[in-house]
A and B are shown apart, each in its own frame.
Chain A
Amino acid sequence: MKKVLIATLLILVVSIIPIFAQGASESSVKLGFIGPMTGDYGNYGNLISKGALLAIEQKNAKGGIAGKIQIELIVEDSEGDPQKGLAGIEKLASSDKIVALIGPVFTGVAFAVGERVQNEGIMMVTPSGTHKDITDIGNYVFRTVASDGLQGDVSGHYFYEKLGIRKLGVLYVKNDYSQGLYEGTKASFESRGGVVTIAETAQIGDKDFKTQLTKIRASNPDAIYIPNYTAEMAQILEQATQLGIKIPFLSSDGFSNPEIYDLAGDYTDGVIYVGPTQVKESSDYKKFVADYTAKWGFAPDSFATNAFDAANILFETLEKVYAKNGKFDRKAIRDTFAATKDFPGVTGTVNFAENGDLVAYQGVYKVEGKTPKYIGTYTVVDGELIEIK
């Protein structure tokens, strides 16, 4: 018993030491990142955090903020779990004393952490949390990705008007991302007169979709909508082939993760999906992709690109705040961030709406030979689908 107590005390003492190691030094400013770094969705967190890291490296190489303060990114693993995400923000907020948060990656974690940062007064900008209600949490929550609300709107309208789909079959996963998109798309699709003839569900992590696909096949819709993550979509596409399904597939921005081509290969051919807008081949964007791929050895996805932009906007914000106040005040950072106007990001010109949403459009892609081809930029205004040339 005594041995146990002594051991416990020793452990406690050892862990206190980092407190003293904590230099809130003038020579660095800390940003936080929360995302799934390990676990089944580690690929997302990995890709996205590296977008931010690249930006930081480039900025630091130029001297950092005000030419002298280096930026540090502290990455916390959420494992896709809100509880871990909260522990992460707890540590980032109180121990690391971050001045702003990039992330979280997943919608569910974003909700939980969002409440916390709103209460704590630390601004957060998510590069991938698309659920429409996230920015409703408060004025400290922003995103550099278009919200689901828009994606659902554009998807539903586009399928009806441009693709001529009248009967839609859906296979979605019971999680906030998929279900949110399903509900949004269904609403806009049906508002035009289309009918969702069958909607089957699955659980995240499921591998076998044959039963649902068989039922969908029997109901014979014009197209099948699968707004899911890559792992599930790869399985679905493969199994659809095995079942002899020739009905075209439609998807969402989850499809923009290049991993899908590794997992599903030729099965991706012909899939049409709605995702983030393709940057008009700007030289900045090309440079970003080149830099990213050169540094990390794989190509970025759209969310990583959003994170890159988010980071750079933050740098501009930090510069302004530091120039004005000589220090990094969290509230000032939030205010300045919100006031960002026409920022030239690699994803295009960035502006934030009142509620922190990204003023954006959606892009439509069609996969041909494992390469996504850009079809067009769209948005929905007052219930009307508009193409942006």
Chain B
Amino acid sequence: MTRGPPSVAEVYLIKEPIVGSIAEFFQHLMNGLTLGGIYALIALGYTMVYGILKFINFAHGDILMVGSYIGLFTFDAIRGQTMGPWTVIAFFIAMLAGMLFSAGLGMAIERIAYKPLRRATRLAPLLSAIGVSFILSNMAAWMWGTKSRKLDYPFDNSPIYLKGVSITPHQILILAVVIVMMVALKLFVDRSRIGKAMRATSLDQDTAKLMGIKADKIIAITFAIGSALAATAGFLIALEIKVYPSMGTMTGLKAFVAAVVGGIGNISGAMLGGILLGLLETFGVALLGIPYGLRDTIAFVALIIILLVKPEGLLGKAEKEKV
């Protein structure tokens, strides 16, 4: 059975995948790490917003979805017919477009649906967020149809074999982008002025305001960054899972679990939680033989366990409840 012409990599590096347990283990590891990287990117958005507003943006996953669509449209519009270096550049431009649009969307949603409820009860913004999530995913379905749309690879995605483990350029791309984004974010939050302001606001909003920090602006920026990161993640996985209206919901939810497991409000925690969840899901099914149908359950069980054992998350600090 043929699978198209062999790629350069296949010709020079070709080794047939060795069927055996070591190779299998590393294969699962590879799959798990890339999955985890994606969760981490999305989890960052959740955690940053929670850190500042103590509120979970249910609609985060759907913002991811919209960003992916915008990226797809941009890519299809500018990439031209043949595949070449321009295709890759176009791909990144499209990703940027998706990120910018999502950032804007995130800020708009915050302004319209969450800001008015900042002084309301805990329940209100949550219900509003659920509503926003619904509106976004269904509007997407209405406008763009429910059929999955293919996002073409800007490069030849034939796998490279390394000792029986097949690695695709796509997986390498994901890992590369995830690492770059995480490092960039960490530097930004730790070193820049806005980053400091963000940390201050999340620590104590009222005091931060007294210090002259414009909380509203910081909140908007937080949403923008978080949404942009989610859009990146969405665009990356869209190559594999295609773009469709409900692409954000389950993945978003699980990324949220990842954020909680790692320590909500804590950026390193989101990264750790994401990777951990990706590995847990992959190995849980592969090694522990958890039936594939219950894969999503792993995430929720992990959530319940962490909330019972260490509710502040693996890297979080326990909060004393003030009476």
Q: Is the A/B pair a real complex?
A: yes
Binding site for B on A (CB under 8 A): 38-40, 42-43, 174, 200-203, 205-208, 210-212, 214-215, 217-218, 220, 231, 235, 238-239, 241-244, 246, 248, 262-263, 266-267, 269-270
Distance of B38 from chain A, by nearest CB (Å): 10
Report Cα–Cα, A205/B146, bound state, in Å.
12
B207 at the interface (CB under 8 A from A): no
Distance of B252 from chain A, by nearest CB (Å): 14
**Contact B27 A243, beta carbon cutoff 8 Å:** yes
| B289, closest chain A residue (CB) | A215
**Contact B148 A231, beta carbon cutoff 8 Å:** yes
Distance of B265 from chain A, by nearest CB (Å): 29
Of B17, B19, B170, which is in contact with the most chain A CB atoms at under 10 Å from its CB?
A: B17
B85 at the interface (CB under 8 A from A): no
B87 at the interface (CB under 8 A from A): no
B210 at the interface (CB under 8 A from A): no
**Contact A214 B28, beta carbon cutoff 8 Å:** yes
**Contact A269 B3, beta carbon cutoff 8 Å:** yes
New A-B pairs, 17, CB < 8 Å, besides A215-B286, A218-B20, A269-B3: A38-B141, A40-B146, A42-B145, A200-B292, A201-B291, A203-B292, A207-B241, A212-B292, A214-B27, A217-B17, A231-B148, A235-B240, A241-B158, A244-B161, A244-B166, A263-B148, A269-B2
How many interface residues does B have (CB within 8 Å)?
39
Distance of B87 from chain A, by nearest CB (Å): 17
Chain B residue contacts of A262, Cβ below 8 A: 150
Distance of A260 from chain B, by nearest CB (Å): 12
**Contact A207 B242, beta carbon cutoff 8 Å:** yes
Chain A residue contacts of B28, Cβ below 8 A: 211, 214
Q: List 23 A-B contacts (CB under 8 A).
A: A38-B141, A38-B146, A42-B145, A201-B292, A203-B293, A207-B240, A208-B35, A211-B31, A211-B295, A214-B24, A214-B28, A217-B19, A218-B24, A231-B148, A235-B240, A242-B157, A242-B159, A243-B17, A243-B27, A246-B3, A248-B1, A262-B150, A263-B150
B53 at the interface (CB under 8 A from A): no
CB within 8 Å of A: which B149-196 residues? 150, 157-159, 161, 166, 168, 170
| A171, closest chain B residue (CB) | B292
For A211, give its contact among B17, B244, B286 (CB under 8 Å).
B286
Distance of B120 from chain A, by nearest CB (Å): 23
Chain B residue contacts of A238, Cβ below 8 A: 240
**Contact B293 A202, beta carbon cutoff 8 Å:** yes
Distance of A241 from chain B, by nearest CB (Å): 5
- Binary A-proximity of B5-42 (CB < 8 A = 1, otherwise 0): 00000000000110111001001100100010000000
